[in-house]
Amino acid sequence: MKDKLRIGWIGLGNMGVPMVKNLIKAGFEVGVYNRNEEKAKVLQGQTDVRIAHSPADLAANADVIITMLSNDDAVKEVFRGESGILTASNLAKLIAIDMSTVSPETTLSLAAACLEKGIAYLDAPVSGSVKPAETGELFIMVGGKEEIYQRVKSIFDTLGKASVYLGENGKGNVAKLAINLFLGITTVGLAEAVVFAAKNGLSSAELLPLINASVVGSGMTKMKSENIVNQDFRAAFALKLLAKDIGLATANGMDTPVGTALSSTLEAAVEEGLGDDDMIAVLKYLSKK
């Protein structure tokens, strides 16, 4: 068992499942809780994982609890809700790591609540989507106490290609929101370039190799080129989640012209029913304008 750390994992979405599999492969003992227990049972059929029936049950049998959930409310619920983590007994020495993308305010509130129970708390959101989660190549940004970061660094080393300690709680959240702000701007910029070219007779299949070979080409433009050409909008990172993250950035002081326009565009695309598609599906919304 790697470092003898018992891990409790909450959240078995597109990112959570491959991350849990990588931890088990690396030798960690992992228990899981998921609101939809069927997902946990499917994972149990594929791996050696224990299923808990509540966050409190999971916390009672773990050294480290990791949450990977879709939004602030979901994270708050597993900590503060009925049978939540904070309702468990004997929590001293437990380490809680939230790898979700949430607001710094949520992190500071939960970190304070955990401190009262003797729980150490790290915010550790990730940069990367499903494929990097599968290959263990996420980039992890961490806020909290450095000594706690060092104690669980072997977990981050398993899940990601790199992790970086940024300082006090909330700093990981700020870094992630800044990165996703840039991601959103890049995504919409790419979509707008494709729409403009199409209106003037240049197809995406013709344009995208030029973009990728130019100074504006990036890992993101290369990653999404095949999706655009093939009109494949299956979600690696859902548009509604990007819109949610830009909303969090707005709530935390993002009021720049491009960022404000980005927020409006993503919200409109979600209202058009594209929220469950990949973020590059904003192309479909822009193509109709």
Q: Is the pLDDT of residue 270 over 60?
A: yes
Asked if residue 2 has pLDDT above 70, the reply is: no
- For residues 218 and 276, is the Cβ–Cβ distance under 8 A? no
Whether residue 264 contacts residue 246, with contact meaning beta carbons closer than 8 Å, is answered with no
Q: What is the mean pLDDT of residues 170-196?
A: 98
Q: How confident is the model at residue 233 (pLDDT cuts 50, 70, 90)?
A: very high
| 179-207 average pLDDT score | 98
Domain ranges of the chain: 2-168, 175-287
Per-residue pLDDT, 1: 42
Work out the mean pLDDT of the chain and round it to a whole number: 95
pLDDT of residue 4: 76
Give the mean pLDDT of 197-224.
97
Region at 281 (left for phi over 0; alpha for psi -120 to 50; beta for the rest) = alpha
Per-residue pLDDT at 89? 83
pLDDT digits (tens, 9 = 90+) for 87-120: 998 788 899 999 999 999 999 999 999 999 999 9
Name the catalytic one among 21, 145, 176, 244: 176
The per-residue pLDDT for range 59-92, each reduced to its tens digit, is: 999 999 999 999 999 999 999 999 999 999 878 8
The widest CA-to-CA distance across the chain, in whole angstroms, is 66
CATH number of 2-168: 3.40.50.720
Q: Mean pLDDT throughout 214-229?
A: 96
User: How far apart are alpha carbons 282 and 239 in whole angstroms?
Assistant: 7
Q: Which CATH number fits domain 175-287: 1.10.1040.10, 1.10.357.10, 2.40.10.120, 3.20.20.80?
A: 1.10.1040.10
Q: Which of 259, 187, 262, 269 is nearest to 228 (CA)?
A: 187
Give the 3-state DSSP-derived string for 97-126, with helices as H, strands as E and coil as C.
Answer: EECCCCCHHHHHHHHHHHHHCCCEEEECCE
Residue 3 has pLDDT above 60, yes or no: no
Residue-wise pLDDT for 191-201, tens only, equals: 999 999 999 99
176 is catalytic: yes
Q: Are 7 and 23 in contact (CB under 8 A)?
A: yes
Q: Which residues contact 165 (CB under 8 A, 6 or more apart)?
A: 142, 146, 149
Contact 6, 141 (CB under 8 A): no
What digits encode the pLDDT tens for the residues 10-60? 999 999 999 999 999 999 999 999 999 999 999 999 998 999 999 999 999
- Residue 91: the pLDDT is 85
Percent of residues, the chain, with pLDDT higher than 90: 94
